[in-house]
Structure 1
Amino acid sequence: MRKLNQNSIVLIFVVTLFSALFLLIVGRFMYIQVTGEVHSVDLVDYADKFRDMDHNLSAERGKIVDRTGMVLADNKPTYRLYAVLDEDFSKNSPTTLHVENFEKTAKKLAPHINKTEEEIYDILTNGAENDRFQVEFGRESTHLSEDEMQKIESLDLTGLNFERSMERYYPNGSFASHVIGFTDLNDEGDPVGAYGVEEEFDDSLQGIPGNVQYQRDKYGYKLRNAEETVKPPDHGDDVYLTLDQKIQTFLEDAMTTVQNEYNPSRIMAAVMDPKTGEILAMSNRPSFNPNTRENIENWYNDVIAYPFEPGSTLKMFTMAAAIEEGVYNGDETYESGRYRINENFRYVNDYNNRGWGTITYDEGFRRSSNVAMVKLLWEKLGPDKYLEYLKEFNLDRKTGIDLTGEQLGEISYRYPSDQLSTSFGQGSTFTPIQLMKAATMFANEGEMKKPYMISSVIDSASGKVLQENTSETVGQPISAETANHVKKLMEDVVTEEDGTGKRFRLENFTTFGKTGTAQIPDPDSAGYMNGAENYIFSFLGMAPKEEPELMMYIAVKQPEVNHYSEGGDPVSYIYRTVMENSLHYLEVEPDREQTNFAEPILIEDVAGKNVKDVEKKLSDEGVNVVVIGNGDTIKSVSPSEGSEILPNQKVIIKTEGKNTVPDLEGWTLRDVLRLGEVMSVDVDFVGTGFVTEQNIAPNGQIKEGGRLVVELSNQDSNQENDEDSEDSTQENSGQTSDQEESGENSEVETEQE
């Protein structure tokens, strides 16, 4: 009995203990159930912390677009490849989510990422041995294109995944690269503006990322029926430039031709609408491809950031100051050759060191006489008054163009020798854009226009205009009478036989301008460099004369020429080619009669006529005929009826048959664009120069509304396919005796102490 009582006591104790523990545990669970807390930690929040997925939705960077809507900077998807090795990732999944067969994966993947089977196999096995969840395959597996990604996906290999991102892309390569600029990646891997318009308007181009929130399981999959919250990204705004892609293409092609033929150390050029200040084209050499940014030789946009002694182009402003001040008489004569202000100073010489005897000041300007300029400065205007005019012309300040990196030159004016040399463009330095801004007064009856590159900023989603630039007048330093007087003098520079700008005559349009041949300071001495090529040859001109539609400035530094008289050839080639093509493209009415050129051929109304008959007639007249389609009857022709063309130009005939694409190798972009209009297809192009590749094989068919893509290169730029360039060359043959001003700007000899 006693023993039974002891057992009962033990049993009661055990039951009581376990009951207490049970009640404690149940109570604890009930407390957790009611309060949802453990050690003051909210379990719901704790679970949500690990279950909630917050995924960023990247915002697309805004596009950079030209005035016609052509995209100059865009975004394209790029993919990063990685392989999942953890077998646990495939648990509870109906499909295998990790790499199962290393050997098979290495063998199939190798041809697609430029790695050997052994390298891929080693990466996979090493990752598995080190218990890594996933592995990547180096640089070869990043920045994959969509096509490359799809090819890898089609291999049907388990465990391979892709991470998609957007990459900045410049479809036309080096096209206006110093203007457009490029992006770089920040610490988060997002593109940010690093140069050019990309940098200047980075705040506008950058978008605001969005995000998506949902709950997931332990494998990362979204829970069924889970709530999802999506905040869409706000994509960046589009920036529209005043650039015109066709005019820019004319400029790029011409500059590349000169680069290949003359190998200058620098070329800088720009085309402006002088009535508004809009920049229609701007380029530099050396250039670079913003997609690769390899071997960049020049980080500066020289048109706005390279101050140099411009040479005789500055003489137009000396003339404007003298005329406006009322001290200029063009019929007055002076003794050319050399001049000094008194016996304590050395002589300033004309470029030929002997002059042309006694001539008028008008003739002196046409001949680019240094003596004429220093006499006007010293004896007529006075140095102080001339400096006032230089400031009125805004040559003492930046233009304020809406591009990053603008630099300011320096008016060197302390000593009389500085003042004299400034009058004919030496000693003081200016940027090309400063000269262009000042020269707008000659196109606007004395009013100057501020240059600008940004046309507008547009909300990419709504199309709302967020910012819009318009023409801005920044002063009127001269009268309309003075502006017209200087225009006439500059026209004579081009049209008169004693003018230094004869080689800049245009075929169909009147033009006016001023040449420049500037000496280059010698970095190893206090003087200037010697040698036929050691000059900066330049021209600033406009056309047509009465109502200038375009202004153009070109400077070519140190071209490889045999004699300084040849230095103007590369400059004139660029000017004539770009001006003629651009004015025709803008449908400006020609205002100059053709002289010394082949007789034009009139395109008659040939619609409905027999193809072979018309083709034979035009071919007999020297026309390059291209027939589209296999029909017997003509449907349309380009150029259109009533147009005049020159021998060797292309005439494109569209028949009633199907659209067939000809062999476009060696074609200019202008001719390809005309072909697109005739065939009613869209034309896309990459590069500059002449056609080397086409997406549709010769004689292949293309439907109306289709897309024709051509790749252009300058490898064949020596071909004489551009009839305007060819004719212009013929016009100026035999004119190498036109020795502009080389040597014209010989240094003002130092002041006697």
Structure 2
Amino acid sequence: MNRMQRIGLRTLLLGLIFSLLFAGLLIRIFWLQAVDAAWLQEKATLVWNRNEVIRPVRGKIYDRHGEALAYDAPAYTVVATLSKKDPNHIEDPKEVAKALSPVLDTSTDILYKQLNKDAYQVELRQGGWKVDAEKAKAIEALELKGIHLMEETRRFYPNKELAAHLLGYVDLEGKAKMGLELSMDEWLRGKEGKNRFVKDARGIPLPNGELEYIPAEDGADVYLTIDRTIQSFVEQALDRAQREYRPKRMVAIVSDPNSGEILAMSVRPGFDPNQYWKIENYSNYAVSYPFEPGSTFKIITLAAAIEEGLFRPGEKYLSGTYRVPGSRIPVRDHNAGRGWGTITFLEGVQKSSNVLFAKLGVERLGKERLIRYIQQFGFTKKTGIELPGEVIGRVPPISEQIAPRDVAAISFGQAVSVTPIQQVAAVGAVANGGKVLPMTIVKQVKKKDGTVVYEGPKSEGKQVISEETSRQVREILETVVSEGSGQAAYLEGYRVAGKTGTAQKFDEKTGRLIKGEYIASFIGFAPADQPKVLVYVALDAPQEGHYGGTVAAPVFQDIMRNTLHYLRVPTE
């Protein structure tokens, strides 16, 4: 084969190769356009299009005067650069951990483990996640190489422990937990928005590349019936009681008996919702803790007997012990059954005589009428307050067979269990002229544009006793404070009405009373003739004293005095 033939053959081979390549290219183009077109379009869309979630701002929680109790605030997450490829990386993790430890209040070991990971960058979730501005400034002042702050938001509670169980908290993940944060979450959290747009290969949005934009709807604001100042009176009183009496737990509620609005509510042990991970007690005892109320429940028996015309203040009876028909176990007055001899019904109320109320329950009212009044006063249903976890106690139905001795016990606050909020609602009816009102702690929920999406109940309530009965009960309860077992609740210049309560604790598991453990309580209102404020206080298992008149009444007095002065209720 000569030289010209070899050149021709090479040219032919090259032409054939190029023809095959061109044919392959045409086939590939056809395949992409006809077969893989949909898949490629979808993949390109994923690369070009960017979807961003727009987070709404959570609504605030205010007291009745517009003072913020909970809101979103700036927070900062500590980020550490670990990769040596980055010139601004951490060079000595141990030294950095040691420097950060006192600022973040986290052990050096925990921080070092995070700083020693095989990663380009890490967020210090343990100790450095969403810290407040004060800690952020302290971290910046350290000028640590490889440490920087990422700005975020978190829920902030400016008053710390104040009303903690009432408010609840939102965790660092943004999830509502406990209290009003949980029950009002539907309105507080708002609605997420989204932004879908087209970007180039570098991730930069293209001009006119917006495909869809739905703005976030910020959460609505919640306005409470709580008064922050009255709430602080309650918190301070409970703190003093904790130091003096050392109970296992406490609860205090302040309400307006004429509207059913809660002005303050607090329980102990408390917590700081800004540091919710330290919580030891998750229960709001005001709504979730039913117990035998003891003598404060006598108010209900008294009201029922007066309404039925069965209580005559001047009538006399023999105090001390009372043998209930058909029972071998006598009812004894609280002074070991010694009693006070033959006294009047009025004196029996003033001295909180169990014998008197057993006689009223068994001999005068009887089981059916007594239970019916207890039901009408709301003890067999929830109060409707806008808090999670509300329970009802145990009241036997009328149809249930009840031994006469148990009827006697019920009439002075044993053999039944009720919650503090139920007692506040029931005694509120005695104070306001005879109407049981729904309890409320939320005035309204309002969107940012001013639209009101929820208002607290404004019911006229249910009339359970007459206004005349209400007046008579108030006058009798006023003598309990001025002359009887509640004298520690007396306030100079004000007519105070109320009732003490001392109940030995009952163990549901064993079915027996707990030796040496009592719940001391006091419930009352002022002024007695035209009540403006109702206060309930209960101390569970106080270590110093256990009678309601000596332990709970002084706490009541403290709260009531400050509240009446603050509200400028005139003295007489």
1:54 Cα deviation from its structure 2 partner: 2.5
The aligned counterpart of 1:298 is: 281
1:395 Cα deviation from its structure 2 partner: 2.0
Cα offsets for 1:172-219 (capped at 9, x unmatched): 22211221112346xxxx42222111221222222222234445565x
Matched to 1:583, the amino acid is L
* Aligned partners of 1:517 and 1:536 also within 8 Å: yes
Matched to 2:209, the amino acid is E
The aligned counterpart of 2:557 is: 576
The aligned counterpart of 1:434 is: 422
* Aligned partners of 1:310 and 1:425 also within 8 Å: yes
Name the CA shift for 1:62/1:15 in 2 (closer, same or farther; >3 Å).
Answer: same
The aligned counterpart of 2:306 is: 323
Cα offsets for 1:577-596 (capped at 9, x unmatched): 211111121122223xxxxx
Q: Is 1:457 equivalent to 2:445 in the alignment?
A: yes
Q: Distance in 2 between matches of 1:526 and 1:159?
A: 62
* Aligned partners of 1:113 and 1:141 also within 8 Å: no
Matched to 2:257, the amino acid is P
Match of 2:498 among 510, 513, 521: 513
* Aligned partners of 1:513 and 1:541 also within 8 Å: yes
Q: Is 1:503 equivalent to 2:488 in the alignment?
A: yes
The aligned counterpart of 2:75 is: 78
Q: TM-score, normalised by structure 2?
A: 0.88
Name the CA shift for 1:141/1:38 in 2 (closer, same or farther; >3 Å).
Answer: farther
Match of 2:571 among 564, 586, 590: 590
Q: Distance in 1 between matches of 2:110 and 2:403?
A: 71
The aligned counterpart of 1:173 is: 160
Secondary structure of 1:429's aligned partner: coil
1:9 Cα deviation from its structure 2 partner: 3.3
1:272 Cα deviation from its structure 2 partner: 0.6
Cα offsets for 1:497-547 (capped at 9, x unmatched): xx111111112321111111112236797653444xx32221110011222
* Aligned partners of 1:322 and 1:328 also within 8 Å: yes
The aligned counterpart of 1:470 is: 457
Q: Distance in 1 between matches of 2:440 and 2:457?
A: 9
* Aligned partners of 2:194 and 2:216 also within 8 Å: yes
Q: Distance in 1 between matches of 2:446 and 2:248?
A: 38
The aligned counterpart of 2:53 is: 56
Secondary structure of 1:520's aligned partner: strand
Name the CA shift for 1:221/1:106 in 2 (closer, same or farther; >3 Å).
Answer: farther
Q: Distance in 1 between matches of 2:141 and 2:34?
A: 50
Name the CA shift for 1:349/1:67 in 2 (closer, same or farther; >3 Å).
Answer: same
Q: TM-score, normalised by structure 1?
A: 0.68
* Aligned partners of 2:110 and 2:126 also within 8 Å: no
Q: Which moved more, 1:152-161 or 1:280-289?
A: 152-161
* Aligned partners of 1:36 and 1:43 also within 8 Å: no
* Aligned partners of 1:241 and 1:453 also within 8 Å: yes
* Aligned partners of 2:90 and 2:147 also within 8 Å: no
1:345 Cα deviation from its structure 2 partner: 3.3
Taking only aligned residues, the RMSD between alpha carbons, in angstroms, comes to 3.4
Q: Distance in 2 between matches of 1:318 and 1:156?
A: 70
Name the CA shift for 1:409/1:358 in 2 (closer, same or farther; >3 Å).
Answer: same
Name the CA shift for 1:331/1:231 in 2 (closer, same or farther; >3 Å).
Answer: same
Map 1:328-727 → 2, pairs under 5 A: 328-342=311-325, 345-352=328-335, 353-412=337-396, 414-459=402-447, 461-496=448-483, 499-521=484-506, 527-531=512-516, 534-561=517-544, 568-591=549-572
The aligned counterpart of 2:36 is: 39
Matched to 2:549, the amino acid is G
Tell me which protein shows more helix as a share of its residues: 2
Matched to 1:514, the amino acid is K
Matched to 1:299, the amino acid is Y
Q: Distance in 1 between matches of 2:452 and 2:126?
A: 41
Matched to 1:74, the amino acid is Y
The aligned counterpart of 2:246 is: 263
Equivalent pairs counted in the alignment come to 563
Secondary structure of 2:175's aligned partner: strand
Structure 1 residue runs without a partner (length 5+): 89-97, 592-753
Q: Whose RCO is larger (CA < 8 A, sep 6+)?
A: 2
1:59 Cα deviation from its structure 2 partner: 2.0
Name the CA shift for 1:543/1:47 in 2 (closer, same or farther; >3 Å).
Answer: same
Matched to 1:416, the amino acid is P
Q: Distance in 2 between matches of 1:380 and 1:119?
A: 69
* Aligned partners of 1:447 and 1:476 also within 8 Å: yes
Q: Distance in 2 between matches of 1:382 and 1:225?
A: 84
* Aligned partners of 2:327 and 2:404 also within 8 Å: no
Secondary structure of 1:256's aligned partner: helix
Secondary structure of 1:508's aligned partner: coil
Cα offsets for 1:552-572 (capped at 9, x unmatched): 1111122222x656x533312
Q: Distance in 2 between matches of 1:117 and 1:445?
A: 63
1:138 Cα deviation from its structure 2 partner: 5.7
* Aligned partners of 2:485 and 2:549 also within 8 Å: no
Q: Distance in 1 between matches of 2:566 and 2:154?
A: 34
* Aligned partners of 1:37 and 1:43 also within 8 Å: no
Matched to 2:193, the amino acid is G
Cα offsets for 1:46-75 (capped at 9, x unmatched): 334224332322222222221111222222
Cα offsets for 1:288-310 (capped at 9, x unmatched): 22222355443321121111111
Q: Distance in 1 between matches of 2:110 and 2:312?
A: 83
Identity of counterpart residues, as a percentage? 36
Match of 1:240 among 216, 223, 226: 223
Q: Which moved more, 1:351-360 or 1:223-232?
A: 223-232
Q: Distance in 1 between matches of 2:537 and 2:107?
A: 51
1:30 Cα deviation from its structure 2 partner: 7.8
* Aligned partners of 2:81 and 2:89 also within 8 Å: no
Secondary structure of 1:443's aligned partner: helix
Matched to 2:429, the amino acid is M
* Aligned partners of 1:336 and 1:350 also within 8 Å: yes
1:102 Cα deviation from its structure 2 partner: 4.5
* Aligned partners of 1:112 and 1:148 also within 8 Å: no
* Aligned partners of 1:67 and 1:240 also within 8 Å: yes
Q: Distance in 2 between matches of 1:382 and 1:356?
A: 25
Q: Is 1:13 equivalent to 2:12 in the alignment?
A: yes
Secondary structure of 2:435's aligned partner: coil
Name the CA shift for 1:25/1:108 in 2 (closer, same or farther; >3 Å).
Answer: same
1:21 Cα deviation from its structure 2 partner: 4.8
Cα offsets for 1:281-337 (capped at 9, x unmatched): 111112222222355443321121111111111111111111111222222211222
* Aligned partners of 1:99 and 1:157 also within 8 Å: no
Q: Distance in 2 between matches of 1:525 and 1:182?
A: 35
1:80 Cα deviation from its structure 2 partner: 2.9
Name the CA shift for 1:551/1:221 in 2 (closer, same or farther; >3 Å).
Answer: same
1:278 Cα deviation from its structure 2 partner: 0.5
Secondary structure of 1:103's aligned partner: coil
1:143 Cα deviation from its structure 2 partner: 2.5
Secondary structure of 1:234's aligned partner: coil
Cα offsets for 1:211-243 (capped at 9, x unmatched): 34445565x552575735654322222222211
* Aligned partners of 1:519 and 1:535 also within 8 Å: yes
1:4 Cα deviation from its structure 2 partner: 5.6
1:257 Cα deviation from its structure 2 partner: 0.4
Secondary structure of 2:462's aligned partner: coil
Matched to 1:46, the amino acid is K
Q: Distance in 2 between matches of 1:171 and 1:572?
A: 31
1:466 Cα deviation from its structure 2 partner: 0.8
Q: Distance in 2 between matches of 1:47 and 1:530?
A: 76
Secondary structure of 1:268's aligned partner: strand
Q: Is 1:287 equivalent to 2:270 in the alignment?
A: yes
Name the CA shift for 1:56/1:83 in 2 (closer, same or farther; >3 Å).
Answer: farther
The aligned counterpart of 1:92 is: none
Secondary structure of 2:562's aligned partner: helix
Structure 2 residue runs without a partner (length 5+): none
* Aligned partners of 2:379 and 2:392 also within 8 Å: no
Matched to 1:427, the amino acid is A
